[in-house]
Amino acid sequence: MPYALLAPGLLWLIIFFVAPMITTLSTSLQEGNVDDGFVFTGNVAIYWDALHAYWPQLVRSLVYAGTATVLSLLLGYPLAYYIASRRGRAKNVLLVLVIAPFFTSFLIRTMAWQSILASDGGLLVKVLGWLHLTWLFDAFGNVLQFLHLSPNGEILYSPWAVIWGLTYNFLPFMILPLYTSLDRLDGRLLEAARDLYATPRDTFRFVTWPMSLPGVVSGTLLTFIPAAGDYINSRLLGNTQTVMIGQVIDSQFLRVLDYPLASALSFVLLVLILALVTIYVRKAGTEELV
Amino acid sequence: MATSDDKNLAFRATLARGLVSRRSLMAGAGGLGLAALTGCGIQGRNPGGGTAATTPVAKAAEDRSATEKIINWSNWPEYIDVDDKTQRHPSLDTFTKRYGIKVNYTEDYNDNDEFYAKVRPLLAANKDTGRDTWCSTDWMVARLIRQGYVQKLTLANIPNHANIEDSLVTVEFDPGRLYSMPWQSGFAGIAYNPKATGGKKVTTVDQLLTDPALKGKVTLLTEMRDTVGLVMLAMGKDITDFTDADFMAAIDEIKKAKDAGQIKGFTGNEYGKPLSSGDTAACFAWTGDVVQLQADNPSLGYSLPPTGCTLWSDNFVIPALAQHKANAEKLINYYYEPEVMAKVVDYVNYISPVRGTKAILERIDPDVANNPLIVPNAKTLSMAHVFRGLTSAEETKYSQAFSELTAG
Amino acid sequence: MATGGMTEDLRLVGISKQFETFTAVHPMDLEVPGGSFFALLGPSGCGKTTTLRMVAGLEEPTGGRILIGEKDITSTKAYQRNVNTVFQSYALFPHMTILDNVAFGLKRRGVKGANAAAQEALDLVQLSQVAGKKPAQLSGGMQQRVALARAIVNRPDVLLLDEPLGALDLKLRRQMQIELKRIQSEVGLTFIHVTHDQEEAMTMADSIAVMNGGRIEQLADPATLYERPASTFVANFLGQSNLLQARINGFGADGVALAQTHGQDVLVAGDNVPDGIQDVWIGVRPEKLRLGEAGRNRLDGVVTDASFTGVATQYLIRMPWGFEVMLVQQNDGSARAQVGENVVVSWDPGHEFVLDQHQAGDAGVGLGDD
C-alpha cells in the first residue's frame, strides 16, 4: 500500500489547511454578534460587502507585497550569488548573517527601522549628519514625495517605509532559496558558456538566471505570500494611507468582533493568493526546470 | 494599564530591563494574536437570541481559597511596583508575608481585545480560565458583565471597599461597584513635543486636528473611546450621554482631518518614541505614559483640553469559575489600604482610586504628590469624563465605523 | 561542414602558470600547425589541462604569450577567442534542448541561420534525431557527441578536447576515437586533444607533446616518440621498455658502438648514442627482442613467465644479474619457450635507443596505465 505513506502528509494538510479553510469559510457565512452568538445563514452578500468596503486595502496589500518581492529579488540575488561563490568559512559566516535577524523578534526588527528612519534623531539622519550629507536625507524624502511614495517628504511613516520594512523582513526568505539553487549551479557550465562566446551578461541571462529559476520561484513565493498578509510593517512604519488587508482583518477580528467579515476577508485573501500563485507557477513553468 | 492597544509581552521582556525602567515607554505593536480565525459556529453567551436585558449570571466554582493559598492574577506589563534591585514586587511580597497566600502574578494582559480573544472561548464554554482576577478597562468590564463572564464581588470580604474615591463609585457600567474595583486610573489628553511644533503649545483638540504646523505629524489613539471621546468633548457633546449622530459627527470630524493629511496614524501606546524623537509633533496620550516620557525628556508638554478629557480605569474583576475567589478578594482589599496603594502609585505614576493615598504620597514622595497628572485636584477631575457604556449593537456599529477610519 | 579555409598555427611562447602553492606549467614554447590533430599527453597533474585552459582563456597565464597566426590573444577573454572546448564533463546546458545547446555559440555571436547550422552539426555527429531532447535524456556517448557538435559548429581556429573520451567505456571509446579522427579530417580544424591515455594519443594524433611535471618532455610524431624516446619518462610512459644499464666503451668501424652491460658486450648503433656520454641506458622494446640467436646482441636468461595473448606471447626472462626483460614473440609459428627453460635473447644493433644514465630508470613507469 504505497498510498499509506501519504497518510501523515494528508492528515497534516487536512488538519492544518483544509479544516481551518472550511472553518473560515463557514464562519464567513454566519450572522450575529458576540453577545447572542453567530448562526450560519449562508450570507454570501458579506463577500460583496467585504470587497466593496475593503478592496483598496486588498489591492494595496498585493501591490506592496509585489513591490517588496521585486525589491527583495533585486537585493537578494546579487547577495545570494556572492555567498554561493564564496568558499568554506566565509560562506558559513555570510549565511549565518543572513539568518541572524531571525534571532530577534519580528516586532523589534521592524521597530528598529523606526529608530533608523526617524527624521529627528534617527540613526540614518545622524550618520548622514556626521558625514555632512544631511541634504541626502532630505533629497531622498523629496524624491519619495515626488514619486508619491511619501505624503509629505517624510521617509518614515510613508508607503515607501512600509514596502522597505516588508522587503527587509522577508529578504532572508528570498536569499536562502536563491542561494540554494545558485550554490548547486555547476561552475563548469559557466565556463562552457564563456567558452561559447557568451559575455558575462549573456552567461547570466542564458545560463545562470534560467538555472536559478527554481530558487527565484520559491523565493518570490516565500516572500510574497507572507508579505501580502502582513500588518505589522504597515502599522509601525506606515500612515493612515498605507493600511493593508492584514490590519483590517486584525481589527475586524479583535476589535470590532465582526468574525464573519474578518473571515470573509481572510478567505478572499487566501483565494487571491492561491490564484496568483497558480498563475505565477504556471508561467514560470517550474515543472520544466531541472 | 490604560486602554492601550498594543503591548507585546515578548518585546517588553526583552527591552524592559535596563532600557525601560518603568512601564510603558515604548510599547510593542501587535495585537499579535490574529490567533487563527478559529471557532466554528461561534457561541454567544445567550444563544437563541436572548435580549441583552436579561443579563446572564456568571457561574461560581467551588472556592478552594481555604485549602489552596494561591491567587492567579493577570495584569498589564509593568503596572505594579518593582524593586529596581531585586526585580521583585514589594507590595506582593508583603501581602504573601501577611496572609500566607502566594500570588502568581502574570503580566499577560497586553491589550483588552487580545486578552478578551484569549479568554472568551473558555468563558463561553463554561471553563475555568485559570485566573482568579485580572484588570480590565471600563468598557471591557461593561462587556464582561453584560455577557455574564465576571462574578459579583463578596463585599463582606472587602471591607476597604469603602475607601474607593467617590467619583469612581457611581459608574454606569457597574453601579455601586458590585463587580469591579478600580486598580489604576488615568486621563487621555494631548501630549506634544515643542521641538517639533516650533515651540508652540498644543492645548486643544481643534488645534491638533487643524493646525497646519502639525500637518502629518499627529497621531490619535486606536482606543475608540479615548479618541472619539476627546473629539466629541471638543464638539461640545456629553460623552456620558450621546446619540448615534453625535458619535458619527465626531467620526466625520476625524475623517476630515485624516483626509486632509493632518493625521499620520492611529497608535496604541507606541506613540511614546516618535513623540520623544519629534517624528510625532502632537498626539492623544495617556497621563501615566507622559509622566514617564517626561522623566527622560522634560521638554515634552501635556495638556488636558479645556473642553474636557476622558477618564478611564482598569478594574479588578473576578471571572466566572475562578478557583480562589475569596483569596482574590483579600488581595483587592489589601490594595485598597491607602499605604499599599500609595507605594504602587509612587512607582507607576497613574491615578490612585483609593482615598487617602494623597496624604501618604505627600509624605513619601512630594514630587509625585504635587504632580496634577498623578494626584489631580478637584478642578481637573471635574473636566474628566467617562465614556458611557454601549449596548452590544452600538459597540458593533461604532467599532465598525471607527475601524473603517483607522484601517481605511 | 565545409572546411574553414586557411587554418592558422597556434603558438605558445614562454607560456607559464604559477598557482599560489605550486607551478603548474613552467615556461614553455609550443607550436601546433594549423589543421593538425595534436595531442597533449601526460599523467594527471603534468600541466596539460592547465595549458589547455590557458589556450581556451579560462586560465590566465602567469607569463608568456599565446598567438593564433600572427594574432596575440593572450589578453583576450575566453568569449572573445575563436577557440572552443569539448569538456571532460561535457558541460551541456541541462535546461536547453540539444539543438539550443549546439546553436548556443553561434547565437551569442549573432550568426544568422544558427539553428540550421546546428542541425547540420548534429547530422555530422549523427544525432539529428535527438535535436529536441534535453541532455539528461541522452546516454553518455550521445552527450559526448553533442558536446563535440556544440564546439565544432563554431568552426573555431582551435578546438580543444579535454579528456573527451574519459567517461566512456572502452568499446565506445575506440569507436569515438575513430569518429573524432574522421570528423577532424572532414572539418579540417586544428584539434588539441588532452589525454593521459598514450594509446589514444598515438592512435589519433599527428603529433604529440608528452608533458611531465609542468614541462614538455618531448614533442614528436607518434613513431618517433615510440622509437626514439628522448627520456626514460617518455620511454616508460609510452609502451614498455627494457632499460639496460650500460657503459659505452668505444666506437667500431661499421658505425656501431661497443657497450658493456653487466659484463656482457653488446653493440649499439653509433648514431643512437648521445654525444659525450659514457654511462647510458640502453632501451629495447619487447617486440624488438627475439628468442634464439637471430640477432647480433645475445644475452642468456631463464624464462620466468610466459603468457599467451593470441596474436603474441609475452615472456619475462631473468638475466644472470637478476634483471627481468620483457619479450614479445609474434604468433608467427616459431617455437615457444617454457617457463624454467634456459634461452638466448637477441636483437640487432640499431633497434635500441640510448639515454643518459643520469635519469631514473623507472621514471614514468606505471603512469601510462589507466
Shortest Cα distance, chain B CAs vs residue A207, angstroms: 43
Shortest Cα distance, chain A CAs vs residue C45, angstroms: 19
Q: What is the dihedral of CA C229, C235, C237, C238, to 10 degrees?
A: 60
- pLDDT higher than threshold 60 for residue B103: yes
Can you give the pLDDT at residue C169? 83
A224 domain residue, yes or no: yes
Surface-to-core class of residue C240, CB atoms within 10 Å of its CB (0-12 exposed, 13-18 middle, 19+ buried): middle
Shortest Cα distance, chain A CAs vs residue C8, angstroms: 19
A21 domain residue, yes or no: no
A129 domain residue, yes or no: no
Integer-rounded Cα radius of gyration of chain A = 23
A241 domain residue, yes or no: yes
Can you give the pLDDT at residue B24? 37
Question: Using CA atoms, how far apart are residues B335 and B354, in angstroms rounded to an integer?
Answer: 9
| Contact indicator for A167, A68 with CB cutoff of 8 Å | yes
> What's CA B176's distance to the chain center, in Å?
20
In the chain, the amino acid numbered C85 is T
Cβ neighbours of residue A15 under 8 Å, at least 6 residues apart?
A: none
| Contact indicator for B287, B327 with CB cutoff of 8 Å | no
- For residue B219, give the H/E element and its range: strand B218-221
Counting CB pairs under 8 A, whether chains B and C reach 3 or more, is no
Residue of B nearest to A22 (CA): B40
- Residue A10 pLDDT grade (very low, low, confident, very high; cuts 50, 70, 90): confident
Pairwise CB contact (< 8 Å): A33 & B393: yes
CB neighbour burial string for B325-364, b if at least 16 within 10 angstroms, e if fewer: bbbbbbbbbbbbbbebbbbbbbbbbbbbbbbbbbebbeee
Query: pLDDT tens for residues B229-268?
Result: 999 999 999 998 899 999 999 999 999 999 888 998 888 7
Question: Using CA atoms, how far apart are residues C235 and C225, in angstroms rounded to an integer?
Answer: 8
CATH code of the domain containing A90: 1.10.3720.10
Average pLDDT over residues C143-151: 93
A28 domain residue, yes or no: no
Residue of C nearest to A202 (CA): C108
Surface-to-core class of residue B283, CB atoms within 10 Å of its CB (0-12 exposed, 13-18 middle, 19+ buried): buried
Chain A (231-250) residues lying within 8 Å, Cβ to Cβ, of chain B: 231-232, 235-236, 238-240, 243, 246-250
Pairwise CB contact (< 8 Å): A239 & B216: yes
Name the residue with cell 616459431: C334
Shortest Cα distance, chain A CAs vs residue C176, angstroms: 21
Chain A (83-122) residues lying within 8 Å, Cβ to Cβ, of chain B: 104-105, 107-108, 110-111, 114-115, 118-122
A54 domain residue, yes or no: yes
Pairwise CB contact (< 8 Å): C79 & A195: yes
Nearest to B141 by CA among B178, B186, B110, B93: B178
Query: pLDDT tens for residues A64-104?
Result: 999 999 999 999 999 999 999 988 899 999 999 999 988 98
Count of domains for chain A: 1
Query: pLDDT tens for residues B156-210?
Result: 999 999 999 888 888 888 888 999 999 999 999 999 999 989 889 999 999 999 9
- For residue B138, give the H/E element and its range: helix B138-146
A14 domain residue, yes or no: no
Q: Could you tell me where the beta strands, DSSP code E, fall in chain C? A: 10-18, 23-32, 37-41, 63-68, 71-72, 83-86, 158-162, 190-195, 207-212, 215-220, 242-251, 256-261, 264-269, 279-284, 290-291, 297-308, 312-318, 324-330, 342-347, 352-356
Pairwise CB contact (< 8 Å): C104 & A196: yes
Query: pLDDT tens for residues C274-319?
Result: 888 889 999 999 999 999 888 889 999 999 999 998 899 999 999 9
A196: chain C residues, CB-CB within 8 Å: 79, 84, 104-105, 108, 150-151, 154
Q: For chain C, which domains are there?
A: 10-227 (3.40.50.300), 232-356 (2.40.50.140)
Distance set, CA A64 to CA A45, A231, A269, C4 (Å):
28, 11, 14, 57
Pairwise CB contact (< 8 Å): A232 & B30: yes
Crossing angle for the helix pair A45-85 and A88-99, to the nearest 10 degrees: 160
User: Is the ipTM here above 0.85?
Assistant: no
A189: chain C residues, CB-CB within 8 Å: 91, 93-94
Residue C8's CB is within 10 A of a number of other CB atoms, namely 19
Question: Using CA atoms, how far apart are residues A176 and B168, in angstroms rounded to an integer?
Answer: 58
Name the residue with cell 550521445: C142
Shortest Cα distance, chain B CAs vs residue A125, angstroms: 12
Q: For chain B, which domains are there?
A: 9-30+57-185+313-374 (3.40.190.10), 186-311+393-406 (3.40.190.10)
Can you give the pLDDT at residue B55? 67
Question: Using CA atoms, how far apart are residues C326 and C347, in angstroms rounded to an integer?
Answer: 13
Q: What percent of chain B has pLDDT over 70?
A: 86
- pLDDT higher than threshold 70 for residue B22: no
| Contact indicator for B224, B391 with CB cutoff of 8 Å | no
Higher pLDDT: C262 or B7? It is C262
DSSP string, B227-286: HHHHHHHHTT--TTS--HHHHHHHHHHHHHHHHTT-EEEEESGGGHHHHHHTSSSEEEEE
SS3 A160: helix
Can you give the pLDDT at residue A147? 86
Higher pLDDT: B11 or B18? It is B11
Chains with 3 or more CB pairs under 8 A to chain B:
A
Pairwise CB contact (< 8 Å): A188 & C91: yes
DSSP string, C104-166: HHHHHTT-TTHHHHHHHHHHHTT-GGGTTS-GGGS-HHHHHHHHHHHHHTT--SEEEEESTTT
Distance set, CA A85 to CA A124, A175, A217, A256, C107 (Å):
31, 14, 21, 52, 27
Range of the domain at A178: 45-118+156-288
| Best to test chain C binding among A184, A190, A197, A203 (most C CBs inside 10 Å) | A197
- pLDDT higher than threshold 50 for residue B382: yes
| Contact indicator for A247, A58 with CB cutoff of 8 Å | no
A131 domain residue, yes or no: no
Average pLDDT over residues C133-157: 92
The separation between the first and the last C-alpha atoms of chain A, rounded to the nearest angstrom, is 30
- pLDDT higher than threshold 80 for residue B26: no
Name the residue with cell 474583576: B317
> What's CA C137's distance to the chain center, in Å?
33
Pairwise CB contact (< 8 Å): A34 & B403: no
Can you give the pLDDT at residue A6? 82
